[in-house]
């Protein structure tokens, strides 16, 4: 039995720079791994190449409909392995449909686990991972990275200065393709200062980083959702966060705090209104 951690990511900045011919969008985003994680258990036995997935959330798909199962299938097929069964169990802690890359992290962990077990790394790991989901390549690395393209062109950045991260997911979820569609319909007026964020990271300047947290998707949220996101950001900022933004296509919002006690207080305050609130550290 293999036991792996799958870590949530946040997008410190998120910009979408254009629609591509393949229907996807080119992005420029600074991604950050966090210590909030799912637990993945993988059992490999003799069999006929069957993949099964079980989670502790009834609403999540099982088997190969689950992105973690899809990852196992892609791995087995890449090597033509058809004499083993792969059984995956996922204990979720990362909120689902939240923009925190939970499913992608689970998929990446499955690939890492299978590579270890069979002692056979995928030959084109990043591009293979990208076919499973746009955030999967980042999940192999965590840390602080600049991601471009669909998310598969990755560059290491200096680490986010030590801080606490509060993550809060409101009850609603947002459809990722729909939100990309909304962005296509209008001209983006405000974009993140990605270069400034990189300079702040290079200087180890926490407040320079925090002030520049920015996500273009917030501007195209339906108004009720936007109000909720703004409210969570207000609670975080007035509670001492240096910066706050929605992560990915939401609906989770993160705040980064220099002072860990203030992060704890904010998380407690937010928990009164939202069930899914967590405190994490950069990874
Ligand atoms: O790759 P992933 O399955 O996470 O993407 C989900 C959906 O989000 C895609 O089907 C696409 O509509 C949209 N997407 C996009 N451009 C990206 C990433 C995702 O348009 N770079």
pLDDT by 10s per residue, the chain, length 283: 999 999 999 999 999 999 999 999 999 999 999 999 999 999 999 999 999 999 999 999 999 999 999 999 999 999 999 999 999 999 999 999 999 999 999 999 999 999 999 999 999 999 999 999 999 999 999 999 999 999 999 999 999 999 999 999 999 988 999 999 999 998 898 999 999 999 999 999 999 999 999 999 999 999 999 999 999 999 999 999 999 999 999 999 999 999 999 999 999 999 999 999 999 999 9
Q: Which residues line ligand 1 (CB under 6 A)?
A: 24-25, 27, 133-134, 150, 176-177, 180
Positive/negative CA dihedral, 145, 148, 151, 154: negative
Which alpha helices (DSSP H) does 12-148 contain, by range? 67-78, 102-118, 125-132, 136-139
Q: Please report the atom of ligand 1 found closest to the CA of residue 180.
A: 20
Distance of CA 73 to the CA centre of its chain: 22
Give residue 68 CA to ligand 1 midpoint distance, Å. Answer: 17
Please tell me what DSSP assigns to residue 142.
Answer: -
Q: Is 55 helix (H, G, I), strand (E, B) or coil?
A: strand
Protein residue with least CA distance to atom 2, ligand 1: 133
Give residue 21 CA to ligand 1 midpoint distance, Å. Answer: 13
């Amino acid at each position: 039995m293999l036991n792996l951690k799958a870590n949530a990511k946040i997008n410190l900045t998120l910009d979408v720079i254009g629609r591509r011919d393949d229907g996807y969008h080119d992005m420029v985003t600074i991604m950050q791994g966090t210590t909030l994680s799912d637990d993945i258990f993988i059992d490999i036995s003799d069999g006929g190449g069957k993949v099964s997935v079980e989670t502790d959330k009834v609403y999540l798909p099982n088997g190969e409909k689950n992105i973690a199962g899809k990852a196992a299938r892609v791995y087995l097929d890449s090597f033509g392995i058809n004499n083993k069964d792969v059984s995956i169990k996922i204990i979720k802690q990362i909120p689902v449909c939240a923009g925190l890359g939970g499913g992608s992290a689970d998929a990446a962990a499955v690939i890492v686990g299978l590579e270890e077990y069979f002692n056979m790394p995928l030959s084109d790991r990043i591009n293979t991972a990208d076919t499973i989901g746009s955030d999967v390549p980042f999940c192999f690395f965590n840390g602080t990275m600049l991601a471009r393209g669909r998310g598969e062109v990755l560059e290491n950045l200096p680490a986010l200065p030590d801080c606490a991260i509060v993550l809060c997911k409101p009850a609603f979820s947002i459809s990722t393709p729909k939100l990309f569609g909304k962005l296509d319909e209008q001209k983006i007026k405000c974009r993140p200062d990605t270069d400034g964020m990189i300079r702040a990271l290079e200087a180890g300047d926490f407040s320079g980083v925090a002030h520049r947290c920015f996500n273009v998707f917030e501007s195209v949220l339906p108004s009720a959702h936007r109000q909720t996101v703004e409210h969570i950001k207000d609670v975080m900022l007035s509670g001492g966060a240096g910066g706050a933004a929605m992560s990915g296509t939401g609906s989770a919002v993160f705040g980064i705090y220099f002072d860990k006690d203030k992060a704890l207080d904010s998380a407690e305050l937010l928990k009164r209104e939202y069930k899914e609130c967590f405190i994490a550290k950069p990874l």
